[in-house]
Amino acid sequence: MPELPDLTVYREALASRIVGQPLVHVRLCNPFVLRTAVPPIGDAEGRCVDDVRRLGKRIVIALAGERYLVLHLMVAGRLRWLERGAKPPARITLATLEFGEGVLAFTEAGTKRRASLHYVVGEAALEDFDAGGLEVEEIDLPTFAARLASENHTLKRALTDPRLFAGIGNAYSDEILHRARLSPIAHTGKLSGEEVERLFAATRAVLAEWAGRLRSEAGGAFPGRVTAFRPEMAVHGRFGAPCPECGAPVQRIVYAENECNYCARCQTGGVILADRALSRLLHKSWPRSIDEVA
């Protein structure tokens, strides 16, 4: 799922192309992508774009008259910028938004169709999409510490809870916790003041660094490679690869449709965390320390 750094670069690229431009035409290639009926989507046509925002993990296109197009990419949704007259990808395009100088194609790979488009009127309706998570780059350490301590979660869950913090998902939470040298299963209520400060600094640094890196990679073009798996990452998606800090093989915990990646030597004092499926299967053969596998 695209997270804060990816969505920040998407937002910037869109704003530079469509702010001040009229939305000429909306074409729904898959009618199920539109999750609202009132006002009808045709009401958006002819309105100028006032702004492009990021709201958590959503992109919001603000139109004249307090109309808002709210795009949620979910896991496989992506945005593509096309020249007028160019054909969007046939099978994966959910909708196209035609502007004065180009066309935004809203696509989704796969068949699950989780991505969504809402069209709403008024700031109050837009606020319904705000889960309440804080933007870490906009708050200070005491505010971060108070929000972190407001619920007793594991750090992995706390960072990815949209009610606590905005825009952080599976990929960048792994990178943040590795940078902070903290276990993903450490509980928020048991952190020392120094650990909270370390986590705050790591969160801000990782998100800012990756936004800068992705912005530089795009080089002014519309972002074309938006993925949660990048070889430059320290641990996310790098199971078995050497940790860039200590060289130990990166470990993972698999759960539901997600996985948590971490370095046992850097983050858990050498302890390999139990994987619900594999540790039960291997039982006594499950390694307890990174020294047994490194």
pLDDT of residue 43: 98
- Specify the higher pLDDT residue, 50 or 84: 50
Of 172-181, 263-272, 275-284, which gets the smallest average pLDDT? 275-284
pLDDT of residue 84: 87
- Specify the higher pLDDT residue, 292 or 241: 241
Indicate the pTM of the whole model.
0.92
Instruction: Decide if 94 contacts 29 (C-beta within 8 A).
Output: yes
What is the dotted CATH code of the domain comprising 4-127?
A: 3.20.190.10
- Specify the higher pLDDT residue, 78 or 225: 78
Q: Is 194 helix (H, G, I), strand (E, B) or coil?
A: helix
pLDDT of residue 256: 66
pLDDT of residue 225: 87
**Burial call 187-201: b when 16+ CB within 10 Å, e when fewer:** ebeebeeebbebbbe
Give, in order, the Cα–Cα distances in Å from 137 to each of 39, 153, 194, 205, 206. Answer: 34, 22, 19, 9, 11
Distance between CA atoms of 251 and 261, rounded to whole angstroms? 6
Q: Which amino acid is at 73?
A: L
In this predicted model, what pLDDT tens digit does every residue of 238-252 receive, in sequence order? 999 999 999 999 999
pLDDT confidence tier of residue 278, bands split at 50, 70 and 90: very low
In this predicted model, what pLDDT tens digit does every residue of 154-185 receive, in sequence order? 999 999 999 999 999 999 999 999 999 999 99
Is residue 277 within a helix (H) or strand (E), and if so which, with residue range? helix 276-282
Over residues 214-228, mean pLDDT: 93
Instruction: Decide if 72 contacts 131 (C-beta within 8 A).
Output: no
Looking at the chain, the domain(s) classified CATH 3.20.190.10 span 4-127
In this predicted model, what pLDDT tens digit does every residue of 23-79 receive, in sequence order? 999 999 999 999 999 999 999 999 999 999 999 999 999 999 999 999 999 999 999
What fold is seen in the domain 141-292?
Helicase, Ruva Protein; domain 3 (1.10.8)
pLDDT of residue 285: 39
Residues 6+ apart with CB under 8 A from 141: 196, 197, 200
In this predicted model, what pLDDT tens digit does every residue of 86-136 receive, in sequence order? 999 989 999 999 998 999 999 999 888 899 999 999 999 999 999 999 999
Looking at the chain, the domain(s) classified CATH 1.10.8.50 span 141-292
pLDDT of residue 269: 93
Give, in order, the Cα–Cα distances in Å from 162 to each of 8, 97, 166, 174, 226. Answer: 16, 28, 5, 16, 21
